[in-house]
Chains A and B, each alone.
Chain A
């Protein structure tokens, strides 16, 4: 129902019985589902290969669910997390939600609750993947600029006039205009406002 057919729902739970039943349920609902018994096993898996989401038990031996979530976040992973837990502990769920999980289900949960959370997570995944692809594209375009073009553009974004830039870099104003036009063409933007938005999207490192 609108989800990409090749998406995979990953289940990480240390309880074999819970794993087996959830895989069965998701299969019965027409999803691809894969189960791991630990956070470590999940990290070694091929979850990056396809879009999907992670149904993650909070309480796991060794690396806990919350720890796995923060590792994924540090690595800038796009996979959305639906937490499941055997006991609805409010501070824990608040922490998880703040850290960006899309849902928090307390066991035992109904198939409707799980499916709603999975659907929501897959939509989130699509959004995050689109954003990630766009970001990748922007970064690639920014990387294609020559050093001089980068120097000029960073000053344009900072609000300098052509005349000031020419003076600061010790080059002719005509040259500044040329660099600026080239750079904007490479980036595919037409106005300074578009340029600023694009650079903001790319983040602080550019």
Chain B
């Protein structure tokens, strides 16, 4: 019952010039061999600020930003691929006549016009979309920063403790040294030992401050290879004292030869920190034995890394399931309920996943899966989460 006998479609118009002139995307016709611009439609002229005649005299390099990776050689490569293999779709930074730069999406496709091979560029201005994406990214960073400040606030007593330990040792050592040197004959070796200890404790205090500052800084997102072992060590360094207060052992198990993950080191640290702090909060109120928070990192697939944060507390009721990741969901009397929801936002922005796993083992188990990185700088942090 498809179609009816006797009906014919109305004949299509044969002159397509109107379509070219009125299209709401910029259209360029190139010579497929040289890449030379042969024609440009009014929308194209409007976007770039040139007349058709001007555009036809220009080289494609003139309408690109030419900032890497948006270089002339890259655009020639795209054209070659479109001509030789298949249509190309990519985002590009373009340059208008007045020198202003803007984001476009370019679709390159081979067509035949008047019996000749031509390359059609369909150019769409996506500045608005990019601005919205950048705004989303900016908001996400701001939210992540606020959340880090909150976490640090919760840890402030512990961090003060971490800082006061070396300071106490330095002061006691210095005053012991002064007393020893007041005696007539003192052991130079002992003074040397004291000074060496002071230096070690000073470095230790500096390390606490470095970790804190890393988290406090409101900074641009970076994408780099992050060593999971270092990531966990930094998190443990921040919560060590809190773990003692919760009478809980911290344990890290990182598989040897684990590839690094790709992403922003501070945001990734924030995710793991949040999960570990959550577990410690639970352990503080929990009176069971075998008190332990374990972070396990192992490869999940050849291209992803799995990081598990487990505790030996009462666990998460399975009925709550994914609700724990919803904003404002909390079981803590003073909690805002944003920690896990921010974790999820950050993990998803890294192209990863976060979930609670329910097993027969006691305690809670949160699993973060992140893409592993072998090729630095190739993958951009995708903005899939809005």
Is B172 a contact partner of A22 (Cβ separation < 8 A)? yes
Is B175 a contact partner of A107 (Cβ separation < 8 A)? no
Is B179 a contact partner of A111 (Cβ separation < 8 A)? yes
Per-residue interface assignment for chain B, residues 165 to 183, with 1 indicating a CB less than 8 Å from any chain A CB and 0 otherwise: 1111111110110011000
Q: Say how far B286's CB is from chain A's closest CB, in angstroms.
A: 15
Q: Who on chain B is nearest to A17 by CB?
A: B169
- The answer to whether the Cβ of A20 comes within 8 Å of any Cβ in the partner chain is yes
Given A86-B241, A109-B171, does the pair A17, B165 have CB atoms closer than 8 Å?
Answer: yes
- The answer to whether the Cβ of A160 comes within 8 Å of any Cβ in the partner chain is no
- The answer to whether the Cβ of A21 comes within 8 Å of any Cβ in the partner chain is yes
Is B161 a contact partner of A17 (Cβ separation < 8 A)? no
Of the candidates B158, B168, B173, the one having the most CB atoms from chain A within 10 angstroms of its own CB is B168
The CA-CA distance from A62 to B200 in the complex, in Å, is 26
Is B244 a contact partner of A87 (Cβ separation < 8 A)? no
Contacts of B179 in A (CB 8 A): 25, 28-29, 111
- The answer to whether the Cβ of A110 comes within 8 Å of any Cβ in the partner chain is yes
Given A59-B241, A60-B244, does the pair A15, B165 have CB atoms closer than 8 Å?
Answer: yes
Interface residues of B in 133-186 (CB under 8 A from A): 157-158, 160-162, 164-173, 175-176, 179-180
Is A18 a contact partner of B176 (Cβ separation < 8 A)? no
- The answer to whether the Cβ of B105 comes within 8 Å of any Cβ in the partner chain is no
Of the candidates A15, A22, A62, A86, the one having the most CB atoms from chain B within 10 angstroms of its own CB is A86
Classify chain B's interface size: 20 to 34
Is A21 a contact partner of B165 (Cβ separation < 8 A)? no
Contacts of B167 in A (CB 8 A): 107-108
Contacts of A59 in B (CB 8 A): 161, 241, 244-245
Is A86 a contact partner of B176 (Cβ separation < 8 A)? no
Per-residue interface assignment for chain B, residues 92 to 105, with 1 indicating a CB less than 8 Å from any chain A CB and 0 otherwise: 00000000000000
Per-residue interface assignment for chain B, residues 182 to 212, with 1 indicating a CB less than 8 Å from any chain A CB and 0 otherwise: 0000000010001001001100100000000
Is B176 a contact partner of A25 (Cβ separation < 8 A)? yes
Q: Specify the main secondary structure of chain B where it touches its partner.
A: helix
Contacts of A27 in B (CB 8 A): 176
Of the candidates B171, B190, B241, B249, the one having the most CB atoms from chain A within 10 angstroms of its own CB is B171
Q: Say how far B195's CB is from chain A's closest CB, in angstroms.
A: 12
Q: Who on chain B is nearest to A111 by CB?
A: B175
Q: Who on chain A is nearest to B190 by CB?
A: A24
Given A20-B197, A59-B161, does the pair A86, B172 have CB atoms closer than 8 Å?
Answer: no
- The answer to whether the Cβ of A64 comes within 8 Å of any Cβ in the partner chain is yes
Of the candidates B161, B164, B173, the one whose C-beta lies within 8 Å of that of A24 is: B173
Is A18 a contact partner of B247 (Cβ separation < 8 A)? no
Contacts of A126 in B (CB 8 A): none
- The answer to whether the Cβ of A188 comes within 8 Å of any Cβ in the partner chain is no
Contacts of A114 in B (CB 8 A): 172
The CA-CA distance from A87 to B200 in the complex, in Å, is 21
Is A14 a contact partner of B244 (Cβ separation < 8 A)? yes
Is B172 a contact partner of A24 (Cβ separation < 8 A)? yes
Contacts of B204 in A (CB 8 A): 17
Contacts of B194 in A (CB 8 A): 24
Contacts of B245 in A (CB 8 A): 59
Q: Say how far A93's CB is from chain B's closest CB, in angstroms.
A: 13
The CA-CA distance from A76 to B206 in the complex, in Å, is 43
Q: List 22 A-B contacts (CB under 8 A).
A: A14-B244, A17-B197, A17-B200, A17-B201, A20-B197, A21-B170, A24-B172, A24-B190, A25-B172, A29-B179, A59-B241, A59-B244, A61-B244, A86-B161, A86-B162, A86-B164, A107-B167, A108-B164, A109-B171, A111-B172, A111-B175, A111-B176
Spell out A's residues near B (CB within 8 Å).
Answer: 14-15, 17-18, 20-22, 24-25, 27-29, 59-62, 64, 84-87, 89, 106-111, 114
Q: Which 3 A-B pairs have the closest CB atoms?
A: A86-B161, A107-B168, A21-B172
